[in-house]
A and B are shown apart, each in its own frame.
Chain A
Amino acid sequence: MPNDSIEPRLRRVFSQVLALTEESVNDATAPDNTAQWDSLAHLRLVMAVEGEFGITIPAEQIMDMISFKIARLMIEEQSAA
């Protein structure tokens, strides 16, 4: 999966789950600056990301996906593997 196609798809997932406009999602989007990103939204985000990209994030890493940028890097890493 080419990395340049990951970002727009991931942005769409984030915007759908967190009720944000796609334009407002960027690498810095994180629980600290996004009120809707609570613990329940976090799990929804994980499931939605996994569904969209057909990947499985290991249990140990699920709670580490705490920004758009980290999510993007996790997907890139799994896609490269």
Chain B
Amino acid sequence: MPVPPPDVAKLFASFDGSSAAYQSLARSLDGATSEWPELRVAVLSTCTTEVLQPFLIVEAARRGLRLNLWFGPFGQIEQQVLDAQSPLFAFKPDVVWIFARLEDWAERELLQFAAINLSELRDAIVKRITSITAAARSRTNASLLWSNFATPRLPGVVSAPGLSDARSLNAFCNALNEDMGRALANLSGAWIFDLAHTISQCGASRWTDSRMTLLARIPFSGEALVALSRSLARVLRALRMPPRKCLVLDLDNTLWGGVVGEVGVAGIKMGDSFPGNAYLALQKAALALRNRGVLLAIASKNNEAEALEALAHPDSILRPSDFAAMEIHWEDKATSLRRIAGKLNIGIDALAFFDDNATEREWVRAQMPEVGVIEVPASPADYAAALEASEMFDAPLVTADDLRRAEMYQQQEQRRALQQTSGSVEDFLMSLDMKVQVGPVNGDTLERVAQLIAKTNQFNLTTRRHTQAELAAMIQAGAVALWMRVTDRFGDNGLTGVIIAVPEKEAGLWRIDTLLLSCRIIGRNIETGLLGLLAREIASRGAQVLIGEFIPTAKNELVRDFYPRHGFTAESADGRLWRRELLPLDSFAIPSYLHLAYAE
């Protein structure tokens, strides 16, 4: 979880987690987080959900989100999405959470569960979902977050509770959830909140309180209100905020038991029996993260040779080659973390730090508040669970590029080695044999482009975080959006650049809304080539003048002079707007060492 600012942290420090405390903390947070950008979440449901409000506010704030919530009247999902003038759309939501219960949508059918055609019922429900989604999508760019279905608790319906066969209510719900997932996968900006999983984690028998259901149509117990809010806030955070990119691990008493410098490789605890297997559980969790694109690094106070020997131990699951960076020496850990971020060319705020030593954690927290410091429990038995509970690496999608990231960083190392042996920068860039492929953003690339937009901070001229749905709408409205991918002699860097230009009202005037490159290809003048291609593309659509925009942030100092360097003249005194005539097009030179190709 992100580190909250001090005043908010103070409010949480005195929070006891009781139901009453949620109510009062939610009110206090309203003032304490007033500077945060708000996330507008609309709730549409078949039952009463307003009671969730303070719980959601608190659990979201804990994760760095300020929620502005709107609750639709219960049982009016269609009424809200079918009417363009409805209060739902007037609210201008960023996210619409849709929560329909089977008990509310299909009670009559479920009461004759043994007699009905189950696949017809599933089809009817999925059709209802897709038509609600389509109606909402035609009127808003908000993310549409559907809860999936939990098995309803309907006494008497199941012939042999506990026996799972094709006609069990559970099997029906599982099949329905699968159908729903398939149907929503094709709809842009639609997501599924795994409510069924949240309920099973909490325990279905503890989830509802029949008194609240019967008196007020509230299908939640007090415990469920907290569990649901945590789970939903976690999903909202994953949808809206970038994950950490690198897990930095300590070694002694973290990846194995004992201090290798004292007990030697033979004496450390790492293996099949406790506590060695607890340390290996953490290693497995770290390996799983690596396999879905998170970089691993080491920051350890140790003798390097001994530490590497321990990692080469046959029982060790992680190997030296699994780590993208290693800082093993006796310098302080804040220095190590800075070097790791520098070496991997990522921000300090992309690091998460896992160290059993509370003093080290405190030191890093004090020196570098941007680092995600994971609270490590006292017993190694709880380490792996603590890594998961940290929520540091939650991301809604794993793309093909994520899967190859660790490998790409190895290629990066080889490129750096080559740079040291080449003469001029031009010679080096020539020797890379770069092939730059550029193409229009469309269905195939929308997801990856949106992901890049969400997480690129340094080479990003405007840092506008367009969602998939917003991008699709911009392109629909006439914007030219290009993606770029770069291959060189060391391998494929993947989709690593985006430029988007939009036509302005004044004829012939176009504005660059978004221009960004992934940090791993910075310093190769690829941006110059990308700008050149964009210029040619929009010139063919009648553009004559191009306006560039630079919006400074804490991270994008790197590109402050991008427009003046590319022949733009100041259009506003604050350095935000820049202007350049498009013609002659040849003045947008494309460096000779870039082999550009345009993909249709």
Contact = CB atoms under 8 A, between A and B. Distances in A.
B51 A48 contact: no
Q: Please indicate which of the listed interface residues B211, B214, B225 has the most CB atoms of chain A within 10 Å of its own CB.
A: B211
B497 to A, nearest CB: 50
Contact of A43 (B20, B27, B212): B212
A55 interface: no
A44 B19 contact: yes
A16 to B, nearest CB: 4
A62 B211 contact: yes
A51 B215 contact: no
Contact of A17 (B23, B214, B218): B23
Given A17-B23, A19-B24, A40 B51 contact: yes
Contacts of A59: 210-211, 214-215
Given A43-B51, A62-B215, A63-B215, A51 B18 contact: yes
A16 B20 contact: yes
A47 B214 CA distance: 15
Given A43-B51, A44-B51, A59-B215, A52 B23 contact: no
B306 interface: no
A63 B23 CA distance: 20
Nearest to B221: A47
A47 B211 CA distance: 11
Q: Please indicate which of the listed interface residues B19, B50, B212, B222 has the most CB atoms of chain A within 10 Å of its own CB.
A: B19
Contacts of A27: none
B50 A40 contact: yes
B516 to A, nearest CB: 45
A16 B23 contact: yes
B430 interface: no
A12 B23 CA distance: 12
Contact of A48 (B23, B210, B215): B23
A37 to B, nearest CB: 13
A17 B216 CA distance: 18
B21 interface: yes
A13 interface: yes
Nearest to A61: B211
Interface in B503-547: none
Interface in B179-213: 210-212
B222 A47 contact: yes
B214 A12 contact: no
Contacts of A62: 211, 215
Contact of A50 (B24, B50, B222, B225): B222
Contacts of A50: 222
A47 B19 contact: yes
Nearest to B18: A51
Contacts of B211: 58-59, 62
Contacts of B18: 48, 51-52
Interface in A21-53: 39-40, 43-44, 47-48, 50-52
A43 B214 CA distance: 12
A12 B20 contact: yes
Given A40-B51, A43-B51, A51-B222, A17 B215 contact: no
Contacts, number: 49
Interface string B436-457: 0000000000000000000000
Nearest to B27: A19
A45 to B, nearest CB: 8
Given A44-B51, A50-B222, A51-B222, A16 B21 contact: yes
Nearest to B220: A47
B45 to A, nearest CB: 15
Contacts of A39: 216
Contacts of B222: 47, 50-51
Interface string A62-81: 11000000000000000000
Contacts of B218: 43
Nearest to A58: B211
A19 B24 CA distance: 7
A32 B107 CA distance: 38
Nearest to B17: A51
A60 B54 CA distance: 26
A30 B223 CA distance: 26
A74 B212 CA distance: 18
Given A47-B222, A51-B222, A17 B20 contact: yes
A67 to B, nearest CB: 17
A30 B19 CA distance: 20
A44 B27 CA distance: 14
A51 B212 contact: no
A48 B222 CA distance: 8
B20 A13 contact: yes
Contacts of A44: 19, 23, 51, 54
Nearest to A51: B19
A44 B48 CA distance: 13
Nearest to A41: B23
Interface in B203-246: 210-212, 214-216, 218, 222, 225
Contacts of B23: 16-17, 19, 44, 48
Q: Please indicate which of the listed interface residues B23, B27, B222 has the most CB atoms of chain A within 10 Å of its own CB.
A: B23
A59 B19 CA distance: 19
Nearest to B53: A40
A9 to B, nearest CB: 10
Nearest to B210: A59
A36 B23 CA distance: 12
Given A47-B222, A62-B211, A16 B50 contact: no
A12 B211 CA distance: 24
B255 to A, nearest CB: 40
B262 to A, nearest CB: 48
Nearest to B214: A59
Contacts of B19: 44, 47-48, 51-52
Contacts of A12: 20
Given A19-B23, A39-B216, 7 more contacts: A17-B24, A19-B24, A47-B212, A48-B19, A52-B18, A59-B210, A59-B214
7 contacts: A17-B23, A19-B27, A39-B216, A47-B225, A48-B18, A51-B18, A59-B211
A-B pairs with lowest CB-CB distance, top 4 = A16-B24, A48-B20, A16-B20, A59-B211
